[in-house]
Amino acid sequence: MQQKYKPLFESFSLRSGVQLKNRIVMAPMTNFSSNPDGTVSDAEVDYYVRRSKGVGMVVTACTYVTPNGKGFSGEFAGDSDAMIPSLRRLATAIKQAGAKAVLQVFHGGRMCPPDLVPNGDIVSASAVAPEQEGAPIPRALTDSEIEEIVHAFGETSRRAIEAGFDGVEIHGANGYLIQQFFSPHSNRRTDLWGGSLEKRMAFPLAIVDEVKKVVAAHAKQPFLVGYRFSPEEAETPGITMADTLALLDALANKDLDYIHVSLMDFWSAPRRGVESTRSRMELIQERIGKKVPVIGVGSIHTADDALKALQTGVSLLALGRELIMDPDWVEKIEQGRESEIDTTMTKHDQARLVVPDPLWQAIMNTPGWFPVAENV
C-alpha cells in the first residue's frame, strides 16, 4: 500500500465498543432481491459476501419494521420474530467475510407503494402527498399508531441483536417516514408530534431513545446504534440546512455511535438556510464531528477521492455504487493496485460482479445512475 493511503486503513473504535478494522463502510443500498415471503435470498447473501471482505462495516439494505412500512418490492422483512433466522443468515454471512454487520431499520411512510402494504393503507405524519405526479395522499397516523411504530423500531432492533448483527442504523433519510415527521412539507400536525421545529424532532428522537433502551436491555456484547439522515429537501416548505443543523445538535446529545449523511456528492453545497461557500459535509463535520463520529458519502470514486474526503475530519467513509462496480475497491488500495479500481461497468459484468437480477435490471434501466460503458 502507498504510505499516503494509510489513514484509510486505521482502525476505529465506536462508542459502544464495536471496533472497525478500517475507515471504509459499505453504504446501505436497496437491491430489490429478497424472496417473496420477506426472507433474505441466496442471491442477496452472495452479493453481500462478495463486498464484505475489504470494508470495515457493511450497512445492509433497509428492513421494514411494520407491514405498512414496506417501501420496495424485494425488500427483506424485520417485522416479526419469524424473520430472525433470515436475518441471522445475512448477519453471519457478512461477519464471516470479515466485516461488521449493521442492519438498517426503516419505515417508508408515504413513499410506500400501495400494493406493498396491507389494504393499500399508506400512512405518514399528515395527509400530504409527496410532490410526485399521481402520488397517493397518505393517511395521517393516530397518536397510538405513532407509539406502535416507535415500539416496532425497538422490536426490530431486538431481532437484530438476536440475529447476531453488530448494530442497527436508524433510517432517518431519503424522504421516508422518520424524515416525513421532521419535514414541514409532510408534517402539518399541531399536536405533540408536529408544529414547531422541536416538535417535528419528537418522532426521530423517540425512535432513537426506544432503540437505545432496547439495546441496553438485550445486548450482551457491544452493539452499535447509528442514524442516517438527509441534510435538506427541495420542497417548499421543506427541511433547510438550518433545520438540519438543529436536528444534528439534538442527535449529537444522544450518545449515538455515528451519524451517517445521505448525499449523492460528498462536496455538494447547501441549498438554503445557511450562508456558506463550504460543502454540507464540512458544515456538518464542524458542527457535530467532535461530539459524534460522522460517516461521509457520495461520489467517492478513487483512492485519492477517499483521502481528500477523510481530510475534512470525518471519521468514516461510505461507498455505495463504487462497491457495486468494484467489490475489490478496498483490497486494491491495500495491495497498491489503486490504479486498477473500476469506476465504470459494462452490460456484460453482472455475473463477474455478483449482482442479483432485480438490482441489475434496475441499474441497466435507470440511465445516469451508474456509468455504464456502451459498445463494450
Cis check for the bond before 237: say yes or no (omega within 30 of 0).
Answer: yes
- The residue from 64, 176, 227, 258 that is catalytic is 176
Alpha carbons 333 and 5: distance in angstroms, whole number:
8
Residue 311 burial by CB count (10 A; 0-12/13-18/19+): exposed, middle or buried? Answer: exposed
CA-atom Rg of the chain in angstroms: 20
Residue 364 burial by CB count (10 A; 0-12/13-18/19+): exposed, middle or buried? Answer: middle
Alpha carbons 238 and 199: distance in angstroms, whole number:
15
Concerning whether 176 is annotated as a catalytic residue, the answer is yes
Alpha carbons 114 and 109: distance in angstroms, whole number:
11
Note the maximum CA span of the chain: 58
CA neighbor of 175 nearest in space, from 227, 238, 117: 238
Is the distance from CB of 231 to CB of 264 less than 8 angstroms? no
Alpha carbons 314 and 266: distance in angstroms, whole number:
11
Cell triple for residue 261?
449523511
Alpha carbons 319 and 284: distance in angstroms, whole number:
19
Tell me the three state secondary structure of residue 323: helix
CA neighbor of 292 nearest in space, from 315, 276, 322, 319: 315
HSE of 93, CA atoms in CB hemisphere, 13 A:
20
Alpha carbons 39 and 85: distance in angstroms, whole number:
9
Write the DSSP string, 35-70: -TTSPPPHHHHHHHHHHSSSSSEEEEEEEESSGGG-
Residues catalogued as catalytic? 176
